[in-house]
Amino acid sequence: MAEENAKKEEKGFFTEARIEVFCAIFLGITAILTAWASWIGSLHGGNQATNYTKSNNLASEGNSEYNSGLQLYLSDLMAYNTMMEYAFDREIAESNGNAEEAALIDAKLDNYTEENCSEILMDGFDWMNQNEGSVSPFDMPGIIDRYYETAEELLEESRTVLEEGMKDNANGDAYNLVNVIYSLVLFLLGIVGIFRKLPNRAVVLIIAVVAMILATIYMCTIPLPTGFSFANFF
């Protein structure tokens, strides 16, 4: 009876010899796929670290530029207040009929403006001259934002790079999950020979192959690292 069962098993698709061959083939394929997933996962990890570092550097530069913009704004504000004092003194001199003193104050005002006013404030004065009824250059639409333009650009770039780093982190974790599944597949393929009956071996082999295929399909949906190219390694 045992001999008849053995003959029936040998006549089926999953013979002992075929199972051994399949195990050897899928062990090799899974090992290669595991190495690939580990390599790509490490590249994602490297990109993540690089992007996090770059993001921190950009954020530091952005904060520095923000402080510089604030200082420039305060400097322009002080310069404007001083200019208003000069303008008031000139009006007093003119009302008193002292043309020479008024001319002297005018010259001082021009010199002070040239040396102490930023380009942004000068644009504000041009806007004032073109818009009657304006009482201050700081009323120009968007003038305050201009002091922080560079800072905002750097901080926005920092946020973008940080998001890229977070994506690399998520993709690296996904590749680690694939590696875990491949490790399970290697374990299943390794214990196939433990089972005495061919049907049991076949079931374990099928489970391992299905798990490998599903893990590979999932891996193909995970983006490769940004800028990845085999040409970069040669």
CA distances from 160 to 59, 73, 169, 223 (A): 11, 27, 14, 18
Please state, rounded to an integer, the average pLDDT across all residues of the chain. 88
Does pTM top 0.75 for this prediction?
Answer: no
Report the C-alpha gap between 185 and 205 in whole angstroms: 9
pLDDT at 1: 47
Alpha helices in 96-148 (DSSP H): 99-116, 119-130, 143-146
- The confidence band for 12, taking pLDDT boundaries of 50, 70 and 90, is low
Per-residue pLDDT at 16: 81
Determine the average pLDDT of the residues in 150-172. Answer: 94
Number of residues that make up the chain: 234
